[in-house]
């Protein structure tokens, strides 16, 4: 299924999750009511010489008040437990990775295995049009991985040491492509919600365990007629039983939600890499590995539905497994597999990209000062883009293929090595973003630098002066990939550093007294990916947002051209894709109003967004050819609208 259908399907599946949750809570209310009725009956029988456990006696302890009271208590515990877990997970995927004992990989690591996985993740991100996620390594020898987060801007990829040590590059690509499928198709967000919901169900069992542990400090049976200790013991055991019931229902819900999604993610990985043996052989290695895919982390069971492979030992029935049988998964991607888990374990990976980058990133004395010159990174990126290029990009959202992966590799190869290294370091990454905001006009650039010098950190400003000349010559097609590459470093900034970074960007933008479309787009793109940009539920239709569409498309039509005839032609082309008419707006200089319009457009229902994207595509290709600057502006705006757009390909590609 395409990106928007998958997003809509995941959104609707949340409703199914709520139904399963309600059924589980009702079952817990019934079991809890019976357990408390038994406890009350035992307490009422304390005066008797012999405890009466007859069904009639226990039934007499039931009442409407008891049922209502238990229902309210169970609902309160479940809801409060879920809200508590949700507050814990508010920082996104890094909370899950840290809870599992993960360590964020240093972006300039010298470890060959870690360098290889970072390269693979960066390629996949640029090929799919998503921000590059942070990567965490779990120091476990088993073979497993996961993707966690609510949005692409807080997503992380987690991977075990055994995975990056034992898999070849092709196999790593298959595993990472599988995880990117979960990110792109909305599974990741659904899985995070599932964690919060199930935590509330499991709280009751935790309470029972606490009650039982408290019995160690209490003497049971203080007198012949005092069986209160036994009652408390029975109540604790009952709550523990309820907890196991909650675990049962939780695993049942996980199984119902996640198993089919694993098959789809495997298929997406094959489509992405065009190499079924990549993910297939990775699964074979799991089957032949002494520890398989099982994790030793204490909280592995809580996050079991996130993993690439079965992360914890499954229960008594395959029905309760969060993942399909591994043999079935292998057969689906490699039908000719012989059924035997026979592999050759590499002693050491000999990958070209695993070696540490050459050079130390220092500026050479021959480095030119600020000024004009030949664009950096041209050649490999030169291509003729047409309307077919934009259409292909829209159609392959959420399901990129080998062509996009090849384009991502060409993009990374075209980026100067010194700039790539700088993008991985927080100080230098900020300097690179500042340099993208610098004007090509020498006088205005001098004014901008003077304004920035007053507020920027000295180290960052020095880095800007170092990398600025090279960045001013950077090919326009490399700017968006460079921003995506720098995002993990920018996300590592503290709240105070991020606020100061934002202030510096604003000073650069406001230095000339006006905000250009390029400046606005870059600013919004960075903020959208390093901070929470809540825009409300996605429940609006495109007919509800005619004014907002008008503003966005007019801005896009006037980007880089002043000819009224061309602007009108661009809007007429866009109008052919919309259910309403457009008109030329005189004043489009209010970028604050555009920001508010985009916030509203982000609330479009998933199946309504393709209409807007098609209109945007028609707007930039009305002349029959798309300029590189228009292509990157189109992709950047799509990213701001939460639509990860893969690179636009030439017709030859």
According to the model, what pLDDT value does residue 13 have? 59
Asked if residue 3 lies in contact with residue 187, where contact means CB atoms within 8 angstroms, the answer is no
Structure tokens at 491: 């996300």
Task: Give the start-to-end residue ranges of the domains of the chain.
Answer: 1-337, 409-530
Active site residues: 179
According to the model, what pLDDT value does residue 140 have? 94
Higher pLDDT, 430 or 366: 430
According to the model, what pLDDT value does residue 352 have? 44
The answer on pLDDT for 641 being more than 90 is no
Higher pLDDT, 469 or 351: 469
**Average pLDDT of 10-23?**
66
Percent of the chain with pLDDT over 90: 35
According to the model, what pLDDT value does residue 246 have? 67
The answer on pLDDT for 209 being more than 60 is no
147 three-state secondary structure = strand
According to the model, what pLDDT value does residue 191 have? 86
The answer on pLDDT for 362 being more than 50 is no
Most confident of the ranges 12-26, 67-81, 197-211, 468-482: 468-482
The answer on pLDDT for 607 being more than 80 is yes
pLDDT digits (tens, 9 = 90+) for 185-207: 888 888 888 888 778 777 766 66
For the ranges 227-241, 286-300, 362-376, 441-455, the lowest mean pLDDT is seen at 362-376
According to the model, what pLDDT value does residue 357 have? 43
CA–CA distance, 632 with 386 (Å, rounded to integer): 13
**Average pLDDT of 176-184?**
93
According to the model, what pLDDT value does residue 274 have? 87
The answer on pLDDT for 7 being more than 80 is no
CA–CA distance, 651 with 653 (Å, rounded to integer): 5
Q: Which residues pair with 160 in a beta bridge?
A: 138
CA–CA distance, 100 with 295 (Å, rounded to integer): 9
Higher pLDDT, 631 or 220: 631
User: Residue 345, Cα to own-chain centre: how many angstroms?
Assistant: 31
Which value, to the nearest 10 degrees, does the dihedral of the CA atoms of residues 402, 482, 388, 409 take? Answer: -20
Tell me which residue of 630, 362, 592 sits closest to 476, measured CA to CA. Answer: 630
User: Which residues, 6 or more positions from 534, have their beta carbon under 8 angstroms from its beta carbon?
Assistant: none
According to the model, what pLDDT value does residue 364 have? 38
Average pLDDT, the chain: 81
CA–CA distance, 456 with 448 (Å, rounded to integer): 12
Residue 380 backbone dihedrals phi, psi, to 5 degrees: -65, -25
């Amino acid at each position: 299924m395409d990106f928007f259908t998958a997003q809509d399907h995941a959104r609707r599946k949340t409703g199914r999750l709520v139904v399963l949750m309600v059924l589980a809570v009702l079952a817990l209310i019934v079991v809890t009511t019976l357990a408390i009725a038994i406890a009350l009956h035992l307490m009422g029988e304390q005066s008797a010489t012999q405890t009466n456990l007859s069904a009639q006696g226990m039934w007499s302890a039931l009442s409407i008040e008891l049922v209502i009271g238990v229902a309210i208590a169970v609902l309160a515990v479940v809801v409060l437990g879920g809200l508590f877990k949700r507050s814990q997970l508010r920082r996104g995927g890094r909370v899950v990775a840290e809870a599992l004992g993960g360590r964020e990989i240093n972006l300039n690591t010298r470890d060959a295995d870690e360098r290889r996985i970072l390269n693979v993740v960066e390629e996949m991100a640029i090929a799919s049009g998503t921000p590059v996620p942070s990567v965490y390594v779990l120091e476990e020898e088993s073979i497993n991985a996961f993707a966690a987060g609510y949005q692409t801007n807080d997503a992380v990829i987690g991977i075990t040491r055994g995975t990056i040590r034992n898999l070849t590059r092709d196999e790593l690509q298959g595993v990472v492509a599988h995880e990117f499928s979960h990110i792109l198709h909305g599974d990741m967000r659904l899985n995070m919600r599932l964690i919060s919901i199930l935590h509330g169900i499991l709280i009751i069992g935790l309470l029972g365990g606490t009650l039982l542990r408290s019995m160690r400090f209490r003497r049971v049976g203080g007198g012949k007629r005092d069986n209160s200790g036994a009652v408390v013991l029975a109540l604790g055991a009952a709550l523990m039983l309820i907890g196991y019931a909650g675990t049962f229902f939780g695993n049942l819900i996980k199984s119902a939600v996640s198993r089919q999604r694993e098959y789809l993610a495997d298929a997406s990985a094959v489509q992405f890499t065009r190499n079924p043996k990549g993910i297939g052989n990775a699964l074979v290695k799991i089957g032949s590995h002494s520890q398989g895919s099982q994790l030793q982390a204490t909280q592995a069971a809580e996050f079991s539905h996130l993993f690439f492979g079965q992360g914890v030992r499954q229960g008594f029935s395959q029905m309760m497994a969060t993942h399909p049988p591994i043999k079935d998964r292998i057969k689906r991607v490699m039908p000719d597999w012989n059924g035997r888990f026979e592999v050759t374990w590499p002693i050491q990976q000999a990958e070209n990209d695993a070696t540490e980058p050459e050079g130390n990133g220092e500026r050479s004395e021959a480095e030119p000062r600020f000024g004009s010159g030949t664009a950096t990174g041209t050649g490999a990126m030169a291509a003729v883009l047409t309307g077919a290029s934009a259409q292909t990009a829209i159609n392959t959202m959420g399901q990129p293929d080998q062509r996009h992966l090849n384009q991502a590799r060409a993009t990374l190869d075209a980026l100067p090595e010194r700039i790539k290294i700088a993008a991985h370091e927080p100080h230098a990454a900020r300097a690179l973003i500042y340099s993208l905001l610098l004007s090509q006009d020498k006088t205005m650039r001098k004014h901008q630098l003077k304004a920035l010098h007053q507020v920027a950190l000295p180290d960052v400003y020095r880095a800007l002066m170092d990398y600025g000349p090279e960045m001013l010559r950077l090919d326009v097609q490399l700017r968006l990939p460079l921003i995506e590459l720098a995002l993990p470093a920018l996300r590592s900034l503290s709240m105070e550093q991020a606020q100061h970074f934002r202030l510096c960007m604003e000073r650069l933008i406001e230095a000339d007294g006006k905000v250009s479309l390029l400046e606005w787009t870059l600013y919004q793109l960075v903020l959208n990916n390093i901070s929470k940009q809540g825009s409300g539920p996605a429940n609006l239709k495109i007919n509800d947002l005619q004014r907002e569409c008008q503003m966005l498309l007019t801005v896009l039509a006037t980007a880089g051209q002043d000819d009224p005839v061309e602007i009108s032609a661009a809007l007429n082309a866009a109008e052919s894709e919309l259910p309403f008419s457009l008109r030329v707006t005189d004043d489009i200089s209010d970028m604050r109003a555009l920001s508010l319009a985009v916030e509203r457009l982000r609330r479009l229902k998933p199946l309504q967004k393709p209409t807007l994207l098609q209109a945007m595509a028609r707007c930039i290709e009305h002349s029959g050819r798309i300029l590189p600057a228009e292509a990157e502006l189109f992709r950047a705006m799509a990213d701001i609208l939460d639509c990860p757009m893969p690179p636009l390909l030439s017709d030859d590609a």
